């Protein structure tokens, strides 16, 4: 779902993109973010989502916020979700 939202935003021109380098810092990989694409100063921790060879970096807990705030999600999104009743199962 998040991936579909990103693809749609790319088609609509909703993203900036720049090239940068990946380098080693001790035993970890690091990415230097260009000034134009830097995270806000208050962001101290990020989530990293892996989709194949692609990595999406977003502030912790905000991965879905942009998608739900977008045009494709209406105010009544999933109000009447048809959820099956809870299944009773044997305990292990």
Q: Is residue 58 part of a domain?
A: yes
What pLDDT does 4 receive?
46
Please determine, for residue 86, whether its predicted confidence score (pLDDT) is greater than 80.
yes
Q: How far apart are CA 5 and CA 77, in angstroms?
A: 15
Q: Confidence class of residue 92 from pLDDT cuts 50, 70 and 90?
A: confident
Please determine, for residue 21, whether its predicted confidence score (pLDDT) is greater than 80.
yes
Q: Is residue 42 part of a domain?
A: yes
Torsion of CA 19, 25, 29, 34, to 10 degrees: -20
CA angle 11, 17, 18 (to 5 degrees): 155
Please determine, for residue 38, whether its predicted confidence score (pLDDT) is greater than 50.
yes
Structural domains in the chain (count): 1
Question: Is 0.85 surpassed by the pTM of this model?
Answer: no
Q: Is residue 31 part of a domain?
A: yes
Q: How far apart are CA 60 and CA 37, in angstroms?
A: 17
């Amino acid at each position: 779902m998040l991936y579909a939202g990103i693809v749609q935003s790319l088609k609509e021109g909703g993203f900036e993109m720049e090239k940068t380098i990946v380098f080693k810092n001790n035993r970890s990989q690091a990415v230097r973010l260009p000034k134009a694409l830097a995270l806000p100063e208050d962001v101290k921790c990020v989530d990293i989502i892996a989709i194949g060879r692609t990595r999406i970096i977003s502030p912790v807990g905000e991965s879905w916020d942009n998608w739900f705030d977008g045009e494709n999600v209406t105010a009544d999104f999933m109000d009447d979700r048809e959820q099956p009743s809870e299944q009773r199962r044997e305990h292990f």
